[in-house]
Structure 1
């Protein structure tokens, strides 16, 4: 469940990005596949988004996930306390966005990622590349037809544009996920910087 504060950050960013893109709620609903009523709740700060919802909005708006989930920074020093980071949950994955890095031509989002056993997280695909470093457990990740099995200390990187899956084998998995997106010059700068 997303806290009231995190829900308000999402609400503010979603509304600003939608308006800067010149999209109505109806058009964003069509592009994202999310009901207009759900979008209205998210923009008012009363919704409870899932991983799938946030990634659908990211794709529909053409912005990195962090553009929806991070508030503008107030200091040059960044200290992230794990207990204070909101968890975004999906079918099998719990993500905590730790940091967003805006590089010259790339945006990198750093996540603490936990994969619960017994379920498979499916992604239809999104912009960029995924980098996964497993710290505990054994993970099956990548294209559904040819996934990779990676264990502690193993790293895999793959294009995220196509469908991909995450599933924990033999117990829970802890990993670091980096989402790498091309920076776009026309990306709105309001409420999207996590640095």
Structure 2
């Protein structure tokens, strides 16, 4: 499926979930902290949501982030070859680092995203979401800043885990490239409820 068709399916999914929740576009924009014009672009398939936007929309709609992406053909085995997987930028800005979603499917409480982080790529976005996460560093060095805990410096082969609900962000060390694997375990779909935050 090409990028335009994928964006159209993501947009249709967001719109269907919004309508199912009984939210106007303005209300979903307010609850998710996304501008209404940008939400309109997502729903029309003109723009693709970044990781930040995907998490914010999913939380506002009370679903797992993978529910916003098109469902693959039903199978018990998922194989993602090198070069496959949906590219998702960290934030809605041109210099944002891009993650490759290896596992991010409707109904699955597990997400696996590979990040190749190049010098100058924006990754220092604060994230927080329900569930637990782990970061395994494949190569390079990466500082993982966890609010209230401090900075954990990872080298190749190192791993850190913490509740995903604690605000956290990443920083490259010495402006050298790094490659990391991010795993997020969410509560199952039935255990989530729409958030009332603004």
Common fold by TM > 0.5: yes
Cα distance change of structure 1 residues 36 and 160 upon mapping to structure 2, 3 Å threshold: same
2:142 is aligned to 139
Q: Give the RMSD, CA atoms, in angstroms.
A: 2.6
Superimposed CA distance per residue, residues 157-192 of structure 1 (whole angstroms, 9 cap, x where no aligned partner): 11111221111113111111111100131779xxxx
Contact 2:143–2:171 (CA<8 Å) still a contact in 1?
A: yes
Question: Which structure carries more strand by proportion?
Answer: 1
Partner secondary structure for residue 18 of structure 2: helix
User: Which residue of 170, 174, 197 corresponds with 1:166?
Assistant: 170
Alpha carbons of structure 1 residues 120 and 45: separation in structure 2 relative to 1, 3 Å: closer
* CA contact 2:124–2:171 (8 Å) conserved in 1: yes
TM-score computed with the length of structure 1 as normaliser: 0.82
In structure 2, the CA distance between the partners of 1:89 and 1:107, relative to structure 1 (3 Å rule), is same
Give unpaired runs (5+ residues) of structure 2: 194-198
Instruction: Determine if contact 1:132/1:156 at 8 Å carries over to the other structure.
Output: yes
Q: Gaps (5+ residues) in structure 1?
A: 189-195
Question: Over residues 79-124 of structure 1, what are the superposed CA-to-partner deviations in whole Å (9 max), with x where a residue is unaligned?
Answer: 2233232311135532111114789xx7111111222334442224
Aligned length: 185
Shift of the 49–148 alpha-carbon distance from structure 1 to 2, 3 Å rule, reads same
What is the rounded CA distance, in whole Å, between the counterparts of 1:26 and 1:162 in structure 2?
28
* Residue in 2 that maps onto 1:183: 188
SS of the aligned residue for 1:122 comes to coil
The higher relative CO (CA closer than 8 Å, separation ≥ 6) is in: 1
| TM-score, length of structure 2 as denominator length | 0.81
- Provide Cα deviations, 1:18-70, integer angstroms capped at 9, x if missing partner: 12222111110110111112111111111132222222212212222211124
Q: What secondary structure does 1:57 align onto?
A: helix
Matching residue within 132, 156, 159 for 2:160: 156
